[in-house]
Chain A
Amino acid sequence: MEIIMSVVAGILFAAGIYNLLQKQLLRIVIGTVILSNGAHLFILTMGKLKRGAPPVLEYGISDYADPLPQALILTSIVISFGLTSLLLVLSYRAAQENNTDNMEKLRGNHDE
């Protein structure tokens, strides 16, 4: 199952990167969301899948799934959510101010 999940994560990465290389601001935001989803799945897969019960201690059970990757992913989800929303508002404002969401037109100054 880990191999299949690695493939799934890889496809998520590919889809995220492809979106990241698009012209439109919205697609780039979507790309970052997909990328972070891929990364979360990747972390989870690396910590081995389905070895034991959910990591909530219960009397009589000795095998649990690895809790550490889950904690890491939880942190990551929240952070990427913060990032996504900021990016979203940023691109919204950029599109509003410049009247375009075309990355090829958003190029900064000539002197840069």
Chain B
Amino acid sequence: MLFAVLLPLILTLLIPFLSKFKDKIHTGIFVFFIPLGIFIFFVRFIGEGFSPKLESYPWIPSMGISLDFYLDGLSLLFVLLISGIGALVTLYSIFYLHKSEKLAHFYVYLLLFMTAMLGVVLSDNVYVLYTFWELTSISSFLLIGYWNHREGSRYGAMKSMLITVFGGLSMLGAFMLLHVTTGVTSVQQMIGSVDMILSSDYLPLILTLLLLGAFTKSAQFPFHIWLPDAMEAPTPVSAYLHSATMVKAGIFLVARFSPIFHGYEWFFIIVSGIGIITLCWASYMAVRQTDLKGILAFSTVSQLGMIMAMLGFGTEAAVFAAVFHILNHATFKGSLFMIAGIIDHESGSRDIRKLGGLMTLMPISATLALFASLSMAGVPLPFLNGFYSKELFFENSLHIGDTTLLIASIMKQAIPYLAVFGSIFTFVYSMYFLFGTFTGKQKLEQLPKKPHEAPIGMLIAPAILVFGVIFIGLFPNLFNETFLAHAAEAISGVETHEHIVYWHGLKTAFYMSLIVVAFGTILYLFREKWWNIYKSIPGNLSFNRVYNGTLKGLDVYTAKLTKGYMNGSLRRYTALIISTIFVVTGLVMAGTNGFTFKTDDLAPITLPEILVGIMVIAGAVGTILAKNNVAAIIILGVSGYGQALLFVFYRAPDLALTQLVIETITVALLLLCFHHLPQLSRRTERAGFRLTNAVIAVGFGTLMTLIGISAHSSKWFAAISDYFLETSHDLGGGDNVVNVILVDMRGLDTLFEITVLGIAAFSIYSLIKLRSKEGK
């Protein structure tokens, strides 16, 4: 299985070389064999004696992460969808994309996506699953933005990226919590320790985060907004990613984890609730669309909502119906997308208002569309697979398991009505799609190209899918025991023996189907009458506005926030830094009783020192008071010489010497420097500003004083200096201990201090010598 997953990835390395021959052989032909091979490889597993298989390869053993590939009925269903529809889409794309396009890019992204998707459905390790999950987001981003010269493509790619990555990260959070709770990283082992998860305090958080991941990926309400914009992608991509595979990744995730949660009532409430809302909202919105792919996008969203709702019901029969519909939806929606692509390709437009009467011009496409749309609408004809799954959906909406919570029992009552409501609109948009395009008046003058039937190669893939629609419709029970039941069993955990019947008898579900058809027909026929009401009902309520507003608001407010404190004034930053030090240090010191005051170990106070101390202070404060620059510099010198005098008092002859020399040079430098710039004079400050500065400065000084006193009052151990004093003569060979420390005991400091001076000297030299070219 590892090889099957990595095969597309390996081929991506060869694509750039293969695309060299694209003038002679379309690159897609090489690619076509990859999904086909994978399909054949996995098809062999279908059979009576199917049992789950696990393969494991070490990846990061120290963290318990290994490439575990687990093939059970659920994975098998998805793997076959991915590889089967992948092959058909590749075939379709060979005729859809012209050789002048950037084919190498397209197929590299597509293969990357294929690997990612196979990885998602086969991974058993949550972290590996997450890795592949994000890879699908990235490759989908690249594919949506394939025509990156278009504004719409870039917008759509960005939007899908933001929303799905947001969900992906939430899902990672859920995985980490699951890992922490159970101590294992394998999904199957997590399912084995259900009790630990269900009794965990994190349970609501885990469920929320996990479902956020699933809902964003599967375009559930209100995260569905990225899917219609992803229609900017080339049509093969829309058919593949945005109807059959990637959008089902969220469905897969819910299905994969439902053995853990299906007894938990909130799982039903959230999953079924959101699913049914998505179904109704998206099928309602789909009727408004004028773009063929827009209709299909909303249709996909609503069908996904329906599958999600059935997964939420959690009963054995409902899960089976969900699995069945995953398969059915992939067949009819894939073919419809391809047909929409054909219409676009051959007539130059996807706008349903410009299309019409294409039946005679494109008879084969029209026939294919007829079957696929009727299947999508769930018209009660026993040779369309959509009908069965729709009827199973109605049937199961009436038989939801027992509920204890009030909200769950209310939902239980409401769901059948909502299901019918959503399905009526499903019927309406399906008819709109079909008849709006293929019947009615021809408006050829509005179309950029004269429409004609597509080349035969382009029709092969949708024809195969429509054949699938009818084949499953005629023989719905053919794969039940060998294939679908295994998938349902993997989700619900119990062995499933469902049988699909052509004719249910006169049961409620059948009446519901009839209601849908009757109301749907009426609504479609009289659409002009209620069109205006329809347009005003959601009115301005649009989640795109929320999304755009949020992004714009974030932009504006972060810019404002940044501008608010990053105003370019260095003084402001200094003030902020110093205040922060003051507040944080002060609070920490006060909070930990850090301030102490002891007077038992102090040197005696003598008058000369106090006088010199006053001199130092006077010099320092004088620089502030001095109006004149030169005066300030000289006063600074007073403070510095005072400091040197203090060093004398405190038995530090070397320090006194150095301080004297350096203070002299500093003062000289300051005077020299500002002698050349006499025009610069003292600036006056606003009084308020002076006061703030004074408060900050005095606060900081006070804090430092207190810290100094506290540090002196709490000495915890003796100094190391006795060692220096004892060994200076014998080991260092010198009597001046300070100098021995500087050059012998801690000579490295001195080396780098010399380096500092050297660097300063070179910098000064280059500052003075290197001027800008204008000769300033």
A binding-site residues for B, Cβ under 8 Å: 1-24, 26-27, 29-30, 33-34, 37-38, 40-42, 44-58, 64-68, 70-71, 73-75, 77-79, 81-86, 88-90, 92-93, 95-97, 101-104, 106-108, 112
A30-B636, A45-B708, A74-B654 are known contacts; what are 16 more A-B pairs with Cβ within 8 Å?
A: A1-B609, A12-B617, A13-B700, A17-B700, A17-B701, A18-B624, A33-B640, A56-B737, A57-B725, A57-B728, A67-B724, A77-B658, A84-B666, A84-B669, A92-B677, A102-B683
Given A89-B768, A90-B767: A4 in contact with B620 (beta carbons within 8 A) = no
Contact A71 B746 (CB under 8 A): yes
Interface size class of B (residues with CB under 8 A): 35 or more
Q: Residues of B contacting A33 with CB < 8 Å?
A: 636, 640, 666
Interface residues of B in 250-309 (CB under 8 A from A): none
| Chain B nearest CB, measured from A94 CB (Å) | 10
Main secondary structure of the interface of B (DSSP, over half): helix
Q: Residues of B contacting A1 with CB < 8 Å?
A: 602-606, 609
In whole angstroms, how far apart are the Cα atoms of A9 and B643 in the complex?
A: 10
In whole angstroms, how far apart are the Cα atoms of A65 and B144 in the complex?
A: 76
Contact B673 A24 (CB under 8 A): no
Contact B640 A37 (CB under 8 A): yes
| Chain A nearest CB, measured from B596 CB (Å) | 12
Chain A, residue nearest B758 (CB): A82
Q: Residues of B contacting A50 with CB < 8 Å?
A: 603-604, 649-651
Given A22-B685, A74-B654: A56 in contact with B603 (beta carbons within 8 A) = no
Chain B, residue nearest A12 (CB): B620
Q: Residues of A contacting B571 with CB < 8 Å?
A: 21-23, 103-104
Contact A55 B737 (CB under 8 A): yes
Most buried by A among B606, B655, B704: B704
Contact A13 B701 (CB under 8 A): yes
In whole angstroms, how far apart are the Cα atoms of A71 and B704 in the complex?
A: 22
B568's partner among A37, A46, A112 (CB-CB below 8 A) is A112
* Interface status of B721 (Cβ within 8 A of chain A): yes
Contact B767 A56 (CB under 8 A): no
Chain B, residue nearest A53 (CB): B651
Most buried by A among B701, B759, B764: B701
A-B contact pairs, 17 of them (CB 8 A): A2-B709, A11-B701, A12-B620, A14-B702, A17-B700, A22-B693, A24-B682, A30-B623, A33-B640, A33-B666, A45-B712, A48-B601, A55-B738, A56-B736, A71-B741, A93-B768, A103-B569
* Interface status of B711 (Cβ within 8 A of chain A): yes
Contact A3 B658 (CB under 8 A): no
A4's partner among B613, B677, B697 (CB-CB below 8 A) is B613
Contact B613 A5 (CB under 8 A): yes
B615-626 toward A: CB 8 Å interface, digit per residue (1/0)?
Answer: 011001101100
B binding-site residues for A, Cβ under 8 Å: 568-571, 574-575, 578, 599, 601-606, 609-610, 613, 616-617, 620-621, 623-624, 629, 632-633, 636, 639-640, 643, 646-647, 649-655, 658-659, 662, 665-666, 669-670, 673-674, 676-677, 680, 682-683, 685, 693-694, 696-698, 700-706, 708-709, 711-712, 719-721, 724-725, 728-729, 735-738, 741-742, 746, 749-750, 753, 756-757, 759-761, 763-764, 767-768, 772, 776
| Chain B nearest CB, measured from A27 CB (Å) | 7
In whole angstroms, how far apart are the Cα atoms of A101 and B749 in the complex?
A: 35
Most buried by A among B571, B652, B741, B763: B652
B724's partner among A3, A45, A68, A102 (CB-CB below 8 A) is A68
In whole angstroms, how far apart are the Cα atoms of A21 and B709 in the complex?
A: 26
A67's partner among B613, B674, B738 (CB-CB below 8 A) is B738
Contact B658 A78 (CB under 8 A): yes
Q: Residues of A contacting B737 with CB < 8 Å?
A: 55-57, 64, 67
Contact A4 B605 (CB under 8 A): yes
Given A4-B610, A7-B705, A82-B760: A97 in contact with B776 (beta carbons within 8 A) = yes
User: 5 shortest A-B CB distances, which residue pairs?
Assistant: A14-B701, A10-B705, A6-B708, A82-B760, A18-B697
Q: Residues of B contacting A89 with CB < 8 Å?
A: 673, 763-764, 767-768
Q: Residues of B contacting A54 with CB < 8 Å?
A: 651-653
In whole angstroms, how far apart are the Cα atoms of A108 and B569 in the complex?
A: 9
Contact B613 A8 (CB under 8 A): yes
Contact B603 A67 (CB under 8 A): no
| Chain A nearest CB, measured from B309 CB (Å) | 51
Contact A81 B620 (CB under 8 A): no
B602's partner among A3, A13, A37, A102 (CB-CB below 8 A) is A3
Most buried by B among A16, A24, A56, A96: A56
In whole angstroms, how far apart are the Cα atoms of A18 and B306 in the complex?
A: 69
In whole angstroms, how far apart are the Cα atoms of A56 and B741 in the complex?
A: 12
Contact A12 B738 (CB under 8 A): no
Contact B677 A9 (CB under 8 A): no
Chain A, residue nearest B662 (CB): A81
Given A15-B621, A26-B680: A20 in contact with B574 (beta carbons within 8 A) = yes
Q: Residues of B contacting A40 with CB < 8 Å?
A: 643, 655
Contact A74 B603 (CB under 8 A): no
Q: Residues of B contacting A47 with CB < 8 Å?
A: 719
Given A19-B623, A41-B643: A96 in contact with B677 (beta carbons within 8 A) = yes
B736's partner among A3, A42, A55 (CB-CB below 8 A) is A55
Contact B603 A49 (CB under 8 A): yes
Q: Residues of A contacting B705 with CB < 8 Å?
A: 6-7, 9-11
Q: Residues of A contacting B569 with CB < 8 Å?
A: 103-104, 107
